[in-house]
């Protein structure tokens, strides 16, 4: 059976939905294919125990670029700002909390390190200014040295102007910060170790590297793009529910006539004579279309869904070299009640980062280099039920722990039940230290290793990032050199997932840009393969 | 320390003038005699035995063996019959040649590829996602070329059978005495000839058997100098001499497409996707920038240049490899990459890259020669390749 | 002030200071070089540490000395003589070894023993590296423009740089970008499969930095190996006859031949500044020497916080120098030997002893060595680069005896609990034991042992935190960020006060480029 469309979107996560909706709005006949029965990808809400549900990740809204909000009319989506942002334990029963209000945070820091407190407000302002520059970069295709044509050159020029407009200090700071390690960044700024660790932990999110690694300064900035002023961790939570964004975009897609096929995976992207002709589904159905936007990760797209003979060996090689390296595990807890934090209970509204030292973060990363799980993982815990009580039965709670580092590929043995539960126990033990009494309130626990994430969400190596955010895998290098402008080396094939620019944590960012690229090519009636390669 | 071939115990004592050279990391004879004339004569008048073991050889087998080779080389491997051998180049994405060699189909899912450069890594890069096994059999398999008008007679003496049935670019599995061998009717001389592939452990007995069988036919072990001359006459290209691998050349200007090496015939238009297809399609439409041609240096002109010094023409008896400028109307239009005096054709021949359209047959050009330390130009004429193409090669 | 006055006083007789002096003298300036130690060369010195045994005490091989310096200062005439260091042997933990030899066919055959695929990849990799080196080379020879500046010279420089990258094309710029940002292990993973090969190659990426082979930013230095080759002046690596001190001596002779005056044993206490302008130097002896310009070959910390009063400098600069990372991470063990080491993997005396012996059996070995250092310990099983200069230059040791130079990483400057004599000896023991795993007869050959920790290197040479490169060669400390943004063009905020050490662009190794560029910049600025 063959059904014909103008374009097919593979993957019903935020990027896929945004791409489909954007194409639908432009009058393109779109089919969207989603493997799971439910839309949302990593953002979908799932029950993990009777009465307890959790968002796929930690419930953070991420940053939806204003271009996407405007383009799809999502202005009505309201967000809770992150406040507090992040808390680290500093002693038994004592914590340092960083708030969205720099003055309040400075006061908290001042109790331990007055000099750091004085530097805090300027540090936060600067970090936000730098992240603001990234936000500009993230709303268009990545700038590249071979930019041609007045449009691209103009954009490049405007970026240059924006960079200079940052002023000498910030410009230099930006150029210095991006390649730096987050450890050096915080050591330059602060002396108080728990403060350094609280900030630095944001620079290793979903990386297989510790805070000493170059480029972690960039990661810190990346995940602060779009954060409300003052916030140093997280972008907030959707008021209407963890899946509010997914629901809104899905509704928009439906309004625009997008055909949605869920509970069936794409099996093959069909190609004839170097051009896409459709998608074959796992049930044998063929959807014909001259264009496909894949919002699954680049390795899955190019190595699994595509017959390799359509790609140059160099491209295949490059795709195989993409570093995925999933090393984040997620543990979901059903809680009878919350741990006692006394006067500090409010901290649970933000992220509790359980590692108060830079060396602690670094040591957690060490084992992963050798294919082992950290003995004492770095754990960050959030309590989504404080925002969305409906996720748990009345009065009860859900806590979500993100734990690093648990590598997808173990050197000794393979992930199995025993190893999974041992990881769960290690995570629980770490949380117990930070939040005494935590484990005694737990009634359910689900442990998702990177292997489980791979199975559940179809993520290569269980990498939520669709490819590590290392400096060599961002901007014009994402997903691979030469093919970073959302069009892939087969005519009519586009990449719109987090494996494309601007990357993870930006719902719809890549999907939107991929759709725009597709529409541009469609209007031009040509495929600019040669200009990509030149 | 360089590699020695499995025939070394037999070849080494024969190299009278210690004229050795390197070939693919191996030590091989340039010539056995101090002078290569007799060896060359054997190729064209009797039969020559040449150690070609340094060739790289790969055994490729598995359900996707055809797909792997077909995506890699420019010829249509899907149409290669069992027992057939294809000569083919292979290219990178830009349609520039990486290497050239032969693809022999041993069975439905089993092939042997030969190449001048190591190709294991490139095969592996092409095999991503395919169900195929690639084995480097360069060392375990030794090879001899038996070339010359009497090659068939020697083969028949060594391994009785109807050798006329083995057609040009076909192979069969047989025995020489009790030694299992694969014989392909292929070669690098442009003459009647065979290449014999054998387990390296049986290399020496095979050599002995062929030498014994060939003795009545004047079989002559033959080195690289003589082979080089024969292949120039046959218009066959050589990697690192007439062209550079796209994987090794530091700049694009040093790379060549199949069209630029006269191998347009080996680029299939009809087959499925393969490396370089898009670029080669464009090039076929547009025409290559360079032609690869033969040059005949005019004797009279050469003679006149030397006569000025009261010298007879000095001729390259041992073929040269290098770069010699070629001019037309006072401008350089190309360069020759190998050349030598053909004792058979009695002509000074060269292989040359000429900028289109100067490579048309019959085109008069000027060929740089250094006469008594002074750079001069001799008249030359573009000649279609090959220079020498005897009936017996295919018959 | 008494005594004669000079056009320029160069503080520090390291190789960069000497190069600067030679260029300034060549342009007719009256130049005085002041070196605190009795020997010239800074970290490039040869000393007879034990009677009859001469050592390149710190820096021990040459690879990147700029060919234009060799040419313009006519160094071969003044004693430069580079002897080839042709091979590298990596003993493996299984008793085998990996060798890289001068002849490509031999190297390929050797590598094919371990991995035919890698043997095939080497020339392709080499081609890319060569192209990258060609792309980078022009950058080593330019004064870095300040991207935040609106000065015409900076804008011109930026434009030229932009054009350079545009001309390179996306493919090469991307490849270069990868090289700048990736870890050497990740970068090499894309090319090779044989772990000891990757380990040995990546070792060159970690030398002198506080990075491990898996640390992003360590890939870039892989290029350096190829840089020497394209310069055509000599092979990638070599020994100077008579040790690296002889290079310093050659440069010094070149400088003197052009009229420069060089004094050793004369430490500079501080730079004399009047009215925001450098007017001379005060020596530790109390003597004051007047000069129209002063150029410091010392590292940025000494240049900006010791030779002058940091209070006279902008906060931005002082803060930048404070943040500038030295983090000395390597030590040196120099051994006087009664005989030659016998490698288990390659017994006996052979050509391999004329090359380098790299103790880098696996990436994990190197990474674990780094892990020790991250937490303030010296590596129990360190990375070591071992050479026996007396094999090539017999005059370095008494007849039949040998000198062995062991470069050791990691030895963190900030050792937990601090470096003591006991710690130094424990470090030396760990080094000898680690080598003895591959050459069991080594301990019995040792007649004398000199162990240098980063603290010793700092004490003897004055290099802050014992960093041999005057500051880490990390991405955020290169080019217009070296040493500090805005002050990366050899100038300082004090008029007439300049910097020319390896702490300025491009820095690192016995390259001499910093000294040359600084001198040319001074001459262009019209410093008399």
Which domains, from first to last, does chain B contain? 3-55+139-222 (3.30.1360.120), 289-391 (2.40.30.110)
Can you tell me the distance from the alpha carbon of C17 to that of C501, in angstroms, rounded to the nearest whole number? 7
Distances (CA, A) of A423 to A52, C90, C465: 21, 38, 41
Give percent of chain B above pLDDT 70. 100
- What ranges in B52-167 are assigned the alpha helix state H? 65-72, 120-126, 151-158
Asked whether the beta carbons of B347 and B366 are under 8 A apart, the reply is no
Structure-token match 């915080």, residue found: A186
Q: Work out the minimum CA distance from C16 to partner chain A, whole angstroms.
A: 26
pLDDT at residue A171, rounded to an integer: 85
Mean pLDDT confidence for A191-204: 98
CA distance C319 to chain A (A): 9
What's the whole-number mean pLDDT along residues C478-493? 92
Query: How many angstroms separate the CA of residue B44 from the nearest CA in chain C?
Result: 33
Residue B77 contacts by C-beta under 8 Å, 6 or more apart in sequence?
B66, B69, B70, B86, B103, B105, B111, B271
| Closest CA relative to residue A206, chosen from A129, A297, A135, A142 | A297
Q: Residue A527 pLDDT > 70, yes or no?
A: no
Greater confidence (C207 vs B29) lies with: B29
* B275·A313 Cβ contact <8 A: yes
What does the block give as tokens for C173?
């710029």
CA distance B172 to C151: 77
More confident residue, A509 or C235: A509
Nearest to C203 by CA among C121, C78, C98: C98
Count of beta carbons in the 10 Å neighbourhood of residue A292? 32
Is the predicted pLDDT of residue A531 greater than 60, yes or no?
no
Of A130, A157, A156, A133, the C-alpha closest to A143 is A156
Q: How far is CA B88 from the centre of its chain?
A: 11
Count how many Cα atoms sit within 13 Å of the Cα of residue C330 in the half-sphere of its side chain.
27
Q: Are A31 and A5 within 8 A, CB to CB?
A: yes
Q: How many CB pairs under 8 A join B and C?
A: 35
Domain boundaries, chain A: 2-44+243-322+479-533, 100-237, 324-460
Distance between C315 CA and the closest CA of chain A, angstroms? 12
Query: Regarding the domain delimited by A2-44+243-322+479-533, which CATH topology (the fold level of the hierarchy) does it fall under?
Result: FAD/NAD(P)-binding domain (3.50.50)
**pLDDT 10s digits, A234-247:** 999 999 999 999 99
CB-nearest to A312 from B67, B130, B275 is B275
Residue in chain A lying closest to B272 (CA): A273
The per-residue pLDDT for range A348-380, each reduced to its tens digit, is 999 999 999 999 999 999 999 999 999 999 999
Query: Under the phi-then-psi rule, with left for phi > 0, alpha for psi from -120 to 50, and beta for the rest, what region is A371?
Result: left
Intervals of CATH 3.30.70 along chain C: 330-410+416-452
Q: How much is the mean pLDDT over chain A? A: 94
Cβ of residue C174 closer than 8 Å to a chain B Cβ: no
Tell me the chain B residues in contact with residue A277 when contact means C-beta distances shorter than 8 Å: none
Chain B residues touching residue C172 (CB < 8 angstroms): none
**Interface mutation vs chain C, best among B94, B115, B121, most C CBs within 10 Å:** B121
CA-CA-CA-CA torsion sign (A444, A344, A90, A380): positive
Residues of chain B contacting C, Cβ within 8 Å = 1-3, 22, 25, 117-122, 124, 136, 247-250
Is residue C227 predicted with pLDDT exceeding 60? yes
Mean pLDDT of C18-28: 97
Least reliable range by pLDDT among A58-67, A482-491, C221-230: C221-230
Confidence check: pLDDT of A526 > 60: no
A-C interface: how many C-beta pairs under 8 angstroms? 101
Spatial CB neighbours of C30, under 8 Å, sequence gap ≥ 6: C6, C7, C8, C259, C261
Interface check for B67 against chain A (CB to CB < 8 A): the answer is yes
Fold classification of C6-49+63-82+240-325+472-524 is: FAD/NAD(P)-binding domain (3.50.50)
| pLDDT surpassing 70 at residue C232 | no
Q: Smallest CA–CA separation between C117 and chain B, in Å?
A: 5
**CATH 3.50.50.60 domain extents, chain C:** 6-49+63-82+240-325+472-524
Residue/partner pairs of B195-198 with CB below 8 Å, 24 or more apart: B195/B52, B195/B143, B195/B144, B195/B145, B195/B146, B196/B143, B196/B144, B196/B145, B196/B146, B197/B57, B197/B112, B197/B141, B197/B142, B197/B143, B198/B141, B198/B142, B198/B143, B198/B144
> Contact C120/B250, CB-based, under 8 Å?
no
Stronger pLDDT, C196 or A340, i.e. the higher one: C196
Between B60 and C480, the more confident residue is: B60
pLDDT range class, residue C236, cuts 50, 70, 90: low
Q: List the single residue in B25, B124, B248 with the smallest CB-CB distance to C105.
A: B25
C132 touches chain B (CB under 8 A): no
Q: Is B185 on the interface with A (CB under 8 A)?
A: no
- Cα-Cα end-to-end distance for chain A: 40
pLDDT of A126 over the 80 cut: yes
pLDDT of residue A529: 39
Which residue in B1, B121, B249 is closest to C117 by CB distance?
A: B121
Verify whether the Cβ–Cβ distance C371 to A366 is below 8 Å: yes
C108 vs B: CB within 8 A: yes
Asked if B250's CB is within 8 angstroms of C127's CB, the reply is yes
Share of chain A above pLDDT 70, in %: 98
Q: Give CA–CA dist A130/A176, Å, rounded.
A: 11
Subunits touching C (CB < 8 Å, at least 3 pairs)?
A, B
The pLDDT-based confidence of A52 (bands split at 50, 70, 90) is: very high
Average pLDDT over residues C432-456: 98
Start-end of H helices in B54-141: 65-72, 120-126
pLDDT 10s digits, C84-122:
888 999 999 999 999 999 888 899 999 999 999 999 999
Contact C166 A175 (CB under 8 A): no
Instruction: Name the minimum distance, in Å, from the CA of A165 to any CA of chain C.
Output: 10
Structure tokens of B313? Answer: 């023409």
**From CA B48, how far away is CA B231, in angstroms rounded?**
14
Longest CA–CA separation in chain C, Å: 71
Q: Among B22, B124, B247, select the one facing C124 at the smallest CB separation.
A: B247
Q: What is the pLDDT of residue A157?
A: 80
Taking only the tens place, the pLDDT of each residue in C57-77 is 999 888 788 889 999 999 999
Residue B35 is predicted with a pLDDT of 87
The secondary element (H helix, E strand) that includes residue A450 is helix A450-457
Quote the pLDDT of residue C147. 80
Of the listed ranges A64-68, A524-528, B159-163, C296-300, the least confidently predicted one is A524-528
Q: Quick check: C214 and A369 CB within 8 A?
A: yes
Question: Comparing A64-78, A171-185, B120-134, B284-298, which segment has the lowest mean pLDDT?
Answer: A171-185
Residue A530 is predicted with a pLDDT of 35
Q: Cβ B278–A274 below 8 Å, yes or no? A: yes
The reported pLDDT for the residue numbered C2 is: 53
Chain centre distance of CA C337:
26
**What is the average pLDDT across C201-207?**
87
User: Which H/E stretch holds residue B347?
Assistant: strand B347-355
Interface of A with C (CB under 8 A): 144-146, 164, 168-169, 171-172, 175-177, 179-180, 184, 188, 209, 212-215, 317, 321, 323, 359, 362-363, 366, 369-370, 470-472, 476-477, 481-482, 534
Q: Tokens in use for A226?
A: 């779009």
Structural tokens at position C109: 């055959």
C510 compared with B376, residue with greater pLDDT: B376
User: How far A308 CA lies from chain B's nearest CA (Å)?
Assistant: 6
- pLDDT band for C528, please (50, 70, 90 cuts): very low
DSSP string, C11-75: E--BHHHHHHHHHHHHTT--EEEEESSSSSBTTS-EEEEETTEEEE-S---B----HHHHHHTTG
Burial status of residue B374 (CB atoms within 10 A of its CB: 0-12, 13-18, 19 or more):
exposed
pLDDT of residue C433: 98
Query: What is the pLDDT at residue C231?
Result: 57
Whether residue B349 is predicted with pLDDT greater than 90 in this model: the reply is: yes
Record: contact B247-C127, CB cut-off 8 A: yes
* CATH number listed for the domain at residues C330-410+416-452: 3.30.70
State the Cα–Cα distance between residues B167 and B192, nearest whole angstrom: 11
Are B118 and C116 within 8 A, CB to CB?
yes
Q: How far is C352 from chain B (nearest CA, A)?
A: 13
Would an 8 Å CB–CB cutoff place A529 in contact with chain B?
yes
Residue pLDDT, tens place only, A230-283: 999 999 999 999 999 999 999 999 999 999 999 999 999 999 999 999 999 999
């Amino acid at each position: 059976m063959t059904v014909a469309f103008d374009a097919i979107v593979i993957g019903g996560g935020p990027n896929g939905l945004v791409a489909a909706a954007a194409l639908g709005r432009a009058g393109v006949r779109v089919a969207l294919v989603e493997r799971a029965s439910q839309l949302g990808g990593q953002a979908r809400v799932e029950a993990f125990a009777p009465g307890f549900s959790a968002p796929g990740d930690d419930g953070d809204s991420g940053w939806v670029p204003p271009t996407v909000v405007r383009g799809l009319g999502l202005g009505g989506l309201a967000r809770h700002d992150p406040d507090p942002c992040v808390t680290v334990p500093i002693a038994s029963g004592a914590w340092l909390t960083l708030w969205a209000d720099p003055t309040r945070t400075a006061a908290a820091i001042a109790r331990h390190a007055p000099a750091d407190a004085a530097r805090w407000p300027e540090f936060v302002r600067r970090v936000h200014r730098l992240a603001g520059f990234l936000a500009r970069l993230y709303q268009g295709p990545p700038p590249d040295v071979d930019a041609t044509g007045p449009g691209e050159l103009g954009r490049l020029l405007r970026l240059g102007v924006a960079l200079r407009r940052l002023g000498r200090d910030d410009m230099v700071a930006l150029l210095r910060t991006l390649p730096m390690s987050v450890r050096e960044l915080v050591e330059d700024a602060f002396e108080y170790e728990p403060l350094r660790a609280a900030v630095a932990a944001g620079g290793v999110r979903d990386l297989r590297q510790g805070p000493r690694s170059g480029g972690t300064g960039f990661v810190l900035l990346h995940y602060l793009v779009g954060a409300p002023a003052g916030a140093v961790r997280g972008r907030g939570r959707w008021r209407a529910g963890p899946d509010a964004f997914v629901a809104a975009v899905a509704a928009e897609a439906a309004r625009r006539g997008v055909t949605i096929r869920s509970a069936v995976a794409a099996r093959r992207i069909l190609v004839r004579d170097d051009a896409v002709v459709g998608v074959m589904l796992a049930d044998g159905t063929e959807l014909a279309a001259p264009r496909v936007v894949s919002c699954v990760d680049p390795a899955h797209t190019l190595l699994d869904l595509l017959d390799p003979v359509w790609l140059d060996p160099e491209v295949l090689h490059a795709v195989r070299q993409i570093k995925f390296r999933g090393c984040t595990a997620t543990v979901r807890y059903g809680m009878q009640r919350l741990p006692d934090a006394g006067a500090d209970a409010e901290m649970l509204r933000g992220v509790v980062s359980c590692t108060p030292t830079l060396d602690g973060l670094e040591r957690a990363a060490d084992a992963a280099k050798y294919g082992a799980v950290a003995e004492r993982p770095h754990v960050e815990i959030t309590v989504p039920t404080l925002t969305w009580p409906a996720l748990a039965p009345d009065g009860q709670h859900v806590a979500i722990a993100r734990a690093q580092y648990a590598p997808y590929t173990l050197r000794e043995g393979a992930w199995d039940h025993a190893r999974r539960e041992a990881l769960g126990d290690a995570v629980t033990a770490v949380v117990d230290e930070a939040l005494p009494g935590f484990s005694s309130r737990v009634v359910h626990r689900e442990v998702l290793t990177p292997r489980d994430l791979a199975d559940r969400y179809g993520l290569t190596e269980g990498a939520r990032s669709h490819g590590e955010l290392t400096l060599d895998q961002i901007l014009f290098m994402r997903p691979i050199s030469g093919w970073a402008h959302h069009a892939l080396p087969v005519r009519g094939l586009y990449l719109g997932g987090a494996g494309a620019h601007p990357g993870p944590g930006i719902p719809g960012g890549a999907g939107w840009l991929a759709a725009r690229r597709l529409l541009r090519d469609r209007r031009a009636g040509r495929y600019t393969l040669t200009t990509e390669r030149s | 320390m360089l590699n020695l071939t499995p025939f070394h115990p037999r070849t080494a004592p024969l190299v009278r003038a210690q004229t050795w050279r390197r070939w693919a990391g191996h030590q091989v004879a340039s010539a056995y005699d101090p002078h290569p004339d007799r060896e060359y004569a054997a190729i064209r008048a009797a039969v020559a035995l040449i150690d070609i073991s340094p060739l790289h050889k790969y055994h490729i087998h598995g359900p996707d063996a055809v797909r792997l080779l077909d995506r890699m080389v420019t010829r249509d491997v899907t149409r290669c019959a069992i027992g057939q051998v294809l000569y083919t180049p292979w290219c990178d994405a830009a349609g520039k040649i990486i290497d050239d060699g032969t693809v022999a189909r041993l069975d439905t899912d089993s092939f042997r590829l030969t190449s001048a450069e190591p190709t294991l890594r490139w095969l592996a890069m092409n095999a991503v996602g395919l169900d195929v096994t690639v084995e480097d059999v360069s060392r375990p398999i030794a090879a001899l070329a038996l070339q010359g008008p009497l090659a068939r007679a020697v083969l028949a003496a060594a391994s009785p059978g109807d050798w006329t049935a083995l057609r040009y670019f076909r192979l069969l599995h047989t025995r020489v005495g009790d030694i299992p061998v694969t014989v392909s009717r292929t070669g690098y001389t442009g003459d009647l000839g065979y290449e014999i592939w054998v387990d390296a452990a049986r290399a020496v007995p095979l050599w002995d058997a062929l030498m014994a069988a060939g003795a009545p036919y004047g079989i002559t072990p033959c080195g690289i100098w003589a082979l080089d001359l024969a292949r120039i006459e046959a218009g066959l290209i050589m990697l690192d001499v007439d062209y550079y691998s796209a994987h090794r050349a530091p700049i694009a200007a040093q790379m060549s497409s199949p069209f630029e090496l006269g191998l347009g015939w080996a680029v299939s238009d009809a087959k499925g996707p393969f490396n370089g297809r898009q670029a080669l399609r464009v090039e076929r439409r547009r025409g290559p920038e360079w032609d690869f041609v033969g040059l005949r240096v005019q004797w009279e002109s050469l003679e006149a240049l030397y006569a000025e010094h009261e010298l007879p023409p000095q001729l390259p008896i041992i073929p040269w490899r290098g770069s010699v400028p070629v001019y037309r109307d006072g401008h350089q239009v190309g360069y020759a990459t190998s050349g030598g005096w053909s004792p058979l054709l009695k002509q000074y021949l060269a292989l040359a890259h000429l900028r289109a359209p100067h490579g048309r047959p019959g085109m008069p050009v000027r060929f740089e020669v250094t006469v008594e330390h002074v750079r001069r130009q001799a008249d030359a004429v573009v000649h279609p390749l090959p220079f020498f193409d005897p009936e017996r090669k295919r018959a | 002030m008494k005594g004669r006055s000079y056009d320029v006083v160069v503080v520090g007789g390291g190789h960069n200071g000497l190069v600067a002096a030679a260029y300034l003298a060549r342009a007719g300036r009256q130049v005085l070089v002041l070196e605190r130690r009795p020997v010239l060369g800074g970290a490039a010195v040869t000393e007879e540490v034990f009677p009859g045994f001469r050592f390149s005490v710190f820096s021990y091989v040459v690879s990147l000395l700029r060919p234009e310096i060799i040419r313009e200062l006519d160094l071969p005439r003044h004693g430069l003589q580079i002897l080839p260091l042709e091979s590298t042997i990596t003993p493996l933990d299984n008793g085998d070894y990996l060798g890289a030899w001068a002849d490509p066919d031999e190297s390929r055959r050797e590598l094919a023993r371990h991995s035919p695929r890698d043997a095939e990849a080497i020339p392709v990799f080499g081609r890319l590296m060569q192209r990258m080196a060609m792309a980078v080379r022009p950058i080593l020879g330019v004064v870095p423009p300040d991207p935040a500046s609106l000065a015409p010279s900076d804008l011109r420089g930026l434009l030229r740089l932009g054009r350079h990258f545009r001309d390179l094309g996306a493919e090469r710029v991307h490849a270069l970008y990868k090289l700048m940002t990736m870890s050497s292990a990740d970068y090499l993973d894309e090319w090779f499969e044989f772990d000891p090969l990757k380990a040995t190659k990546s070792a060159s990426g970690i030398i002198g930095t506080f990075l491990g082979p898996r640390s992003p930013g360590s890939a870039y230095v892989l290029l350096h190996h190829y840089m020497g080759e394209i310069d055509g002046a000599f092979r990638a690596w070599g020994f100077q006859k008579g040790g690296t001190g002889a290079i310093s001596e050659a440069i010094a002779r070149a400088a003197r031949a052009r009229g420069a005056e060089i004094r050793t044993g004369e430490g500079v206490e501080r730079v004399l500044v009047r009215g925001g302008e450098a007017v001379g130097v005060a020596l530790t002896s109390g003597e004051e020497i007047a000069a129209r310009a002063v150029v410091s070959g010392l590292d940025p910390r000494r240049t900006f916080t010791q030779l002058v009063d940091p209070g006279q400098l902008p906060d931005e600069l002082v803060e930048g120098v404070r943040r500038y990372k030295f983090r000395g991470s390597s030590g040196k063990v120099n051994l006087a030997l009664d005989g030659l080491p016998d490698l288990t993997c390659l017994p006996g005396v052979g050509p391999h002893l004329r090359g380098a012996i790299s103790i880098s059996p696996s990436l994990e070995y190197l990474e674990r060595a780094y892990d020790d250092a991250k937490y303030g310990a010296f590596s129990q099983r360190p990375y070591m680069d071992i050479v026996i200069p007396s094999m090539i230059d017999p005059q370095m040791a008494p007849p039949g005896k040998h000198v062995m130079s062991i470069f050791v990483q990691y030895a963190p400057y900030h050792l937990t609990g601090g470096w003591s004599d006991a710690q130094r000896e424990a470090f030396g023991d760990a080094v000898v034991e680690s080598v003895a795993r591959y050459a069991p007869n080594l301990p019995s050959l040792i007649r004398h042992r000199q162990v240098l920790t980063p603290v010793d290197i700092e004490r003897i040479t004055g290099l802050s935190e014992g960093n041999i490169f005057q500051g880490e060669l990390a991405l955020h400390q290169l080019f217009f960020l070296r040493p500090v943004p805005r002050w990366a063009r050899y100038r300082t905020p004090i008029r007439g006060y300049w910097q020319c050490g390896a702490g300025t662009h491009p820095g690192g190794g016995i390259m001499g480029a910093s000294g040359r560029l600084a001198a040319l910049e001074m001459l262009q600025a019209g410093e008399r």
